[in-house]
Amino acid sequence: MHDKLDLYEQKGVQEYIVWRVIDEEIDWFSLENDQYHKLAADKKGIGESKVFPGLRLDEKALLEDDLKKVLATLQAGLASKKYSQFAKKLAKLPPSL
């Protein structure tokens, strides 16, 4: 995890999620000022991307293997106003090569 984290940091990967299966933990990192900082989930155990508005992960449900709840949280985020605004911005960008 540490080597990959360092490499992603050097390459400017904006966010990075690690599921530490043995520790039963999920770490979500966001690149700020060229360094990763861990994003904290809210009180319900839901993390949300800073880079991809509306991308939400119910970390608690994932760790409990409640994939129905994980999917419901993701779908709710993608139905949010934040995501809709983000998608509109993306649609205006020129296609990349």
The string of pLDDT tens digits covering residues 73-84 is 999 999 999 999
According to the model, what pLDDT value does residue 73 have? 97
According to the model, what pLDDT value does residue 2 have? 78
Domains of the chain, by residue range, sit at 2-92
pLDDT at 95 over 90: no
pLDDT tens per residue across span 12-29? 999 999 999 999 999 999
The region that residue 42 occupies, defined by phi over 0 for left and psi between -120 and 50 for alpha, beta otherwise, is beta
Could you tell me the CA-to-CA distances from 48 to 5, 24, 39 in Å, in that order? 19, 19, 8
Report the chain's mean pLDDT, rounded to a whole number.
Answer: 93
Per the CB < 8 A criterion, the answer to whether 73 and 58 are in contact is yes
Q: Rounded to a whole number, what is the distance in angstroms from the first to the last CA of the chain?
A: 31
According to the model, what pLDDT value does residue 88 have? 94
